[in-house]
Amino acid sequence: MTSAAYAVNARSPLRIDFVGMTDHIGFCREFGGDLINATINKYIYAAARWRDDGRIVLQAPDQSDLTVEIASAADLDAGGKLGLAQEVLRRFDVSRGLEVVTYSEMPGGAGLGSSSTIATCLIALLDALTGYRMTAYEMAETARDCEASALRTIYGWQDQYSPVTGGGVKFMRHWPAATGRGIEVDHVNLSSGTMANLERGLVVAFSGISRPAKSILDHAWTAVEQHDQRVIDVLLAMNALAGEIRRMLAEGRLDDLGPALAEVWRLHKSIHPDVTNERLDQLYDIALSHGATGGKCCGAGGGGTMLFYAPPGRDYAVRKALREADAHVFDISLDTHGLLIW
């Protein structure tokens, strides 16, 4: 191991989603998918430096200080430990020894897009280190392809596109395939007052449940493939709510945000019974009984992080009550930079 400084560093923000289940690829290609999310000041960090011994060393200090040593680039294996990182490295011309360190500030299974954010963060890091000069679109699509190879599954696209397209609140649309228009990202401009009120009023709490969302996502994917009109109608209604939330944030109508989140959550829960459980229902009831006007689970549901909106004067009480219920409440602000490389 060398004591030299890291040659390239990267920081990529995680996201909270106001509407986020509408990015299933099959649904988007047929009907179009709209969502709205915001990057927050909780990050994936990565750093890389060349080594003189030809070996590749991957370190994940947030995963019980896991270290994987690989003899050379020819031995990279997406099926091995830290397989997603190994698959990303396989996409680049790594002809020398390399040391890479990655870690997340949030627990795994938090529903904030960490797996995809790690992939895009690593891709941006190696792009800078090797001089590939990839576009944001190429980074996002490469991340999707790496996840499909290493994790054997891919459902959506927002978590690959979100970090590489800048920070802040973003309305994102996947147009139906028939239009030929692809994916578009629109940054929602907030006034300083709206930004401050939004950061104050958003209450982000980890439920304590880390669990894969595969059963929920598989159900939604299968329902769309089988043209289950009930699920399709739910996703179309969530599309419409994404547009409504975009307008209310742009206009500073935060009093309407809580009820809109509550409606998103009602629709989300109707997709599959595993979306909610006794613990999530308990935290939701506690938040609303102490002044929140609505909320939802981030990601696919079943656990992870819950997001609430509390109007002025009630946010402290909501945070206090959730902490007393043993939820991990995070102090957050909106990240306005997106992916950073230095």
| Mean pLDDT computed over 36-65 | 95
Q: Which candidate, 242, 333, 283, 174, places its Cα nearest to that of 20?
A: 242
Strand pairing class (33-51; 56-60): unpaired
Provide CATH 3.30.70.890 ranges for the chain.
Answer: 190-330
Region 333-338 average pLDDT: 95
pLDDT given for residue 147 in this prediction: 93
Structure tokens at 213: 């969302």
Q: Express each pLDDT in 76-107 by its tens digit.
A: 999 999 999 999 999 998 888 999 999 999 88
* Confidence at residue 217, expressed as pLDDT on a 0 to 100 scale: 87
> Mean pLDDT over residues 30-56, rounded?
96
Instruction: Answer whether residue 3 shows pLDDT above 70.
Output: no
Helix (H, G, I), strand (E, B) or coil at 119: helix
Residue 109: what pLDDT? 79
Q: What is the pLDDT of residues 199-228, one digit of tens each?
A: 999 999 999 998 667 788 888 889 999 999
Task: Give the Cα separation of 197 and 252 in Å (integer).
Answer: 9
State how far the Cα of 145 lies from the Cα of 46, in Å rounded to an integer: 20
pLDDT of residue 153: 73
Average pLDDT of span 39-65: 95
pLDDT score at 259:
98
Scanning the structure block, which residue is given the tokens 């980074």?
139
pLDDT value at 1 more than 50:
no
Per residue in 247-258, pLDDT (tens digit) is 999 999 999 999
Q: Which pLDDT value is given to residue 167?
A: 95
Does residue 151 have a pLDDT over 90? Answer: no
Task: Give the torsion sign (CA, 218, 219, 224, 226).
Answer: positive
The answer to whether the beta carbons of residues 188 and 169 sit under 8 Å apart is yes
Residues of the chain with CATH 3.30.230.10: 8-174
CATH topology classification for 190-330: Alpha-Beta Plaits (3.30.70)
Residue type, 139: M
Which pLDDT band, with edges at 50, 70 and 90, does 121 fall under?
A: very high
What CATH number matches the domain at 8-174, 3.40.640.10, 3.40.50.720, 3.30.230.10, 3.30.70.3270?
A: 3.30.230.10
Which of 297, 302, 306 minimizes the C-alpha distance to 325?
306
pLDDT-derived band at 2, boundaries 50, 70, 90: very low
What's residue 212's pLDDT? 66
Give me the percent of the chain exceeding a pLDDT of 70. 98
Q: What is the mean pLDDT of residues 235-262?
A: 98
Q: What is the mean pLDDT of residues 297-301?
A: 93
Say if residues 187 and 169 touch (Cβ distance below 8 Å). yes
pLDDT tens for each residue of 168-204: 999 999 999 999 999 999 999 999 999 999 999 999 9
Q: What pLDDT score does 215 carry?
A: 81
